[in-house]
Structure 1
Amino acid sequence: KSEELFRLIFTNAPVGIYAFDEHGVITACNDNFVKIIGSSREALIGLNTLKLPDKKAVDAVQQSLQGKQSEYKDWYKSVTADKITPIRALFSPIIVEGTIVGGLAIVEDMTYQIEAEAQKEKLAEQLRQAQKLEAIGRLVGGIAHDFNNILSIISGYAELIKIKIKKDNPIYSDLEEILHATKRSAEIVRQLLTFSRQQKINPKRVNPNYIIKSNEKMLSAMLGENISLQLELADDVYDIWIDTSTFVQILTNLASNSRDAIKDIGNIKIITKNKYLDEEFCSMHPGCTPGDYAMIQFIDNGSGMDKETLERIFEPFFTTKEVGKGTGLGLSTVYGIVKQFNGFINVYSEPGEGTVVNIFFPKYVERFPDVILAKDINDKDREVVIPKNKILVVEDDPTILDMIKKMLSLLDQDVVAFNNPLELLNMAENYKNQINILIADVIMPQMNGIELYNKLKTSIPHLKVIFISGYSDSGYKELMNDIKSSVFLQKPFTMDDLKEALKKIS
């Protein structure tokens, strides 16, 4: 019975087992061992394990024949089959009446464990990368906000001086150069805010195919005659929820990168299709929800990228181009746009093999209406004359506060200014029958602008509001959706922008 039990265990064990004699020659093995090694029973029986080329395996056998337990853990290359397998083997001596007559090895295939460990490490690396980009995004967003405040001061006061002097004054053209430079700087800040997902947006329901087709000629002209552009657009691709201009920016940034990666003649392909992202995919992408997505695939046959470059492509200001040939904001901007609209981006590339960019956007679902943005006012609204208003202004930066006061005075508005929202609240009772508009910075140390407006609204029910911020409206959109009489104005803004906001709100 004992022998029968041993035979059953030997034959049916879920691991590989083999026995060898005192000379290290294999005398028996089970089917699982044959399968792990990738050989045949005939080739394995009679094999002398002390003559294997793998010294670690030989040492493990020798130790067991010396009466010790030993372990072998490595990639084993079979001498009886063309197969390399990661295995873990435990060796024990077989002792009969005090004499070592051979040994027994229990062998486990470690392929699954290694793959699982590799997958775990891959997920950990993706999480580290996502956390790094998130941290960079927060840092960049804060810097961009502060820089927007500085640009507001520069452009605002330059504009105020420009209004006071005649066009033939030599300083007039200098001021125009300053204003032009602030506009260029504001564009760089806008790209930084895009990466940190804090730029001003105006999303709507769109079909990716429509935008791609509408911009095909522009993209082809941008790529040049030596690069062909092919479109493979699925007829039934899902609508998505996105700001049209930012989607075009994705296309132009990717096209620009591909163009620079193609040294001579090449081709770029844009493909759209519908994809269902399952739990397995989402497990590797933090924040992903299983469901239907529109996939936009961008493929080029350019020079490709090595692993080190691939790991850093989404970092702001990272570039492989020569100094002066690029800002390094192209792909970081794409990353920010994709993330802002709850999408995902994967990039595959190898040196000399080109690059594949896969972008996934969720299938369109019904959304809340947008907050009115001051720069999206139509021509009819622009014809409206601004009535004289009594305006409360609160801005924690005293220089910007002074600039806004001067702009409003030039627009013939009555202004009461505060740089502390708590001070304004204490004084609000004195103005409640006169004030009809509040201009408030969204982010202030003591109280945010939305909270301030809601408190004032209880005693001044007719109060309207213009929110201003160096950040975008995106983080506060849901809160502002509840405020019907509101306009959002992003810094830096001009006096014309302020004028249009007043027209809309009056």
Structure 2
Amino acid sequence: MMMLSIELIFNLALLVALSVISGFIAQRWPQTSRRGLLLQGVLFGSAAIVGMLNPLVLGPGLIFDGRSVMISLCGLFYGPWAAGVAALLTIGARLEMGGTGAFTGVMTTITALVLGLLAHHRLTPNRRSSLAAGELYLFGLVVHLAVLLVMHLTFPPEIAATILKRVGLPIILLYPLATILVGKILVDQAALRASERNYRRLFEVHAAVKMLIDPDTGAIVKANHAAAAFYGWSREQLGEMNIKQINTLPPEQIEEEIKKARASSRVHFEFKHRRADGSIRDVAVFSSKTTMSGRELLHSIIIDITEQKEAEREQQKLRSQLLQARQMEAVGRLAGGVAHEFNNMMTVVLSRAQMAMDHARQNPQLEEDLSEIYKAAERSAGLTRQLLAFARKQLIIPQVLDLNTAVENIKQLLTNLLGEGLELQWHPEPKLWPLKLDPSQIEQLLLNLVENARDAMGETGSVRIATANTTLQPADCAERPWLVPGEYVLLTVGDNGRGMDRETQLKIFDPFFTTKEFGQGPGLGLATVYGIVKQNRGFIDLESEPDRGTTFTVYLPRHHEEEPVNERQSTDH
């Protein structure tokens, strides 16, 4: 019994060393690799041979060792390739040793191999990596009961009885315990490897962009496949890069943000990241600390929010436009009311001034003074007409007309308005759809737009006027909800002047807003254009950048003959 215990302790130490080396091989070469399975087989077979070199000697040529534990566990955990190699090595060594028990030794090895492979076949990989101690004990008990049965059947009765009497009970009691000890080490290693595989798979093949970052240096330690697809660099290239090469913030600010993530004072960030093609994307970054192999890293999940940010900017733009429209509506009502009353008073002033001038023919000085009063009143009346146009309360007489013809009729007037050094370019589209509006409004609209273009340029430049037919589909209006689907005639007036910034564009149609010096104009020209366009159920678009010029595009609805005709109207749409 003492010798059996010493032999068991020796084999247990051998089995523990075996399990450690087996775990290293499995970590380096997975079980799906033929090389890994071959190495496992060689390892288990070699360990069995080492155990056979220090056996419990029961008689001449009769030895007992722990090969049954090794071969059965190799079959259970690593399958036929590894177990077959281990069994062949063991059988070859046992035959080389010879003796009366050589045949029985071969048969016990084959028995352990078969039972291990049967268990391997019946259990799934996940099930094998979660075997409980009781299940391992039962497996070891079955294997060694079968081994004892083989010994009983292959030895002569008197030898079999002596062997079983001497080692039978210790084998039944102790060898299943050895199976538990080594089996649990292998189970735990398999579970750890499975957990690592699952974590690696969760990181590497997850649809979200993920990176592991060294908080000390900002180096990208690892990036998943989604990161490579998103940024355009390979995983290997990303692994050699620093987050400062991707984040557009200054390096010192990136370091401050990393400190916040490292201290867990903040886990959500919004940055702009650079991609391999040079494009910049808005991203949300969720970053938290993690530890790998004793090394503190930042686990960052990156989400592309570029479209969301663009939608937010568009919503803000729409809110600004809605607010501006409401302000324009309120100002228009106020201006319309004031202008209407003021216009009535100017009518009285003009008529009385004209009558007084008729009676002052004999007094030149008085006639001159009255003439100046009359001119000032006329200018004031002109301002009220512009205010009424902005407020869409101007009395109009709509007519069916061709826009190209209307522009041709005042082309010379527009050229004279521009003066020397400025060129007028006229690009009409033939066969324009008809419009229905007051011809005087076309003249007002063009004069104000061309005058605005002239004032935006220096001594040289060009103004381009163009016309076209267009049909707006619902999809065309999705990003510009102030437009309405339908058929329109376009009037475009563009210049190559100084352009406007965003702040100026938001105010450009406000009455009395002007970028000119004091006294250079009342700031009603573009407000008048806005009112005329709105009064005729149209729309106006503006595109401008500082030093890149300005283009106004007016959408006027196409006239269809079946529309009712109103000879005179004053609308407030």
TM band (smaller chain): 0.5 to 0.7
Question: 1:302: Cα distance to partner?
Answer: 2.5
SS at match of 1:248: helix
- With over 3 angstroms needed to count, the CA separation of the structure-2 counterparts of 1:368 and 1:138, relative to structure 1, is same
> Within 5 A, what are the aligned runs for 1:299-318?
299-318=494-513
For the pair 1:473 / 2:570, whether they are aligned, the reply is: yes
Question: Is the helix fraction higher in 1 or 2?
Answer: 2
On the 8 A contact 1:56/1:72 being kept in 2, the answer is no
- With over 3 angstroms needed to count, the CA separation of the structure-2 counterparts of 1:272 and 1:148, relative to structure 1, is same
Match of 2:207 among 5, 8, 14: 14
Identical counterparts, % of pairs = 34
- Partner Cα separation in structure 2 for residue 48 and residue 221 of structure 1: 62
Question: 1:102: Cα distance to partner?
Answer: 5.0
Question: 1:349: Cα distance to partner?
Answer: 2.4
Question: 1:258: Cα distance to partner?
Answer: 2.0
Asked which structure has the greater RCO (Cα within 8 Å, sep 6+), the reply is 1
Match of 1:110 among 294, 302, 305: 305
String of CA shifts for 1:10-38, please: whole Å, max 9, x gaps: 45533202346898865543222123334
Count of residues in Structure 1 that have an aligned counterpart in Structure 2: 374
Q: Which amino acid aligns with 1:473?
A: S
Question: 1:295: Cα distance to partner?
Answer: 0.9
Match of 1:140 among 332, 335, 339: 335
On the 8 A contact 1:73/1:88 being kept in 2, the answer is yes
Question: 1:108: Cα distance to partner?
Answer: 0.7
For the pair 1:220 / 2:415, whether they are aligned, the reply is: yes
Question: 1:270: Cα distance to partner?
Answer: 0.7
- With over 3 angstroms needed to count, the CA separation of the structure-2 counterparts of 1:216 and 1:77, relative to structure 1, is closer
Question: 1:160: Cα distance to partner?
Answer: 7.8
- With over 3 angstroms needed to count, the CA separation of the structure-2 counterparts of 1:21 and 1:275, relative to structure 1, is same
SS at match of 1:215: helix
Q: Which amino acid aligns with 2:522?
A: T
**What are the ranges of 5 or more consecutive residues in structure 1 without an aligned counterpart?**
373-471, 477-506
Aligned residue for 2:119?
Answer: none
- After the TM superposition, which of the residue ranges 260-269 and 67-76 deviates more from structure 2? 67-76
Question: 1:232: Cα distance to partner?
Answer: 0.8
Question: Is the strand fraction higher in 1 or 2?
Answer: 1
String of CA shifts for 1:309-362, please: whole Å, max 9, x gaps: 333221212222333332211111111101111111122223332221111111
- With over 3 angstroms needed to count, the CA separation of the structure-2 counterparts of 1:294 and 1:155, relative to structure 1, is same
Aligned residue for 2:517?
Answer: 322
Aligned residue for 2:238?
Answer: 44
CA RMSD of aligned residues (A): 3.7
Question: 1:74: Cα distance to partner?
Answer: 1.8
- Partner Cα separation in structure 2 for residue 130 and residue 338 of structure 1: 14
- Partner Cα separation in structure 2 for residue 257 and residue 330 of structure 1: 8
Aligned residue for 2:23?
Answer: none
Question: 1:198: Cα distance to partner?
Answer: 0.7
Match of 2:450 among 233, 255, 273: 255
Larger radius of gyration: 2
Match of 2:268 among 71, 74, 80: 71
- Partner Cα separation in structure 2 for residue 22 and residue 286 of structure 1: 46
Match of 2:489 among 291, 294, 307: 294
Question: 1:276: Cα distance to partner?
Answer: 2.3
On the 8 A contact 2:215/2:259 being kept in 1, the answer is no
**What are the ranges of 5 or more consecutive residues in structure 2 without an aligned counterpart?**
1-125, 127-193
- Partner Cα separation in structure 2 for residue 70 and residue 318 of structure 1: 46
Aligned residue for 1:332?
Answer: 527
SS at match of 2:507: coil
SS at match of 1:347: strand
Aligned residue for 1:193?
Answer: 388
- Partner Cα separation in structure 2 for residue 65 and residue 162 of structure 1: 87
String of CA shifts for 1:398-422, please: whole Å, max 9, x gaps: xxxxxxxxxxxxxxxxxxxxxxxxx
For the pair 1:266 / 2:363, whether they are aligned, the reply is: no
Match of 2:226 among 32, 50, 62: 32
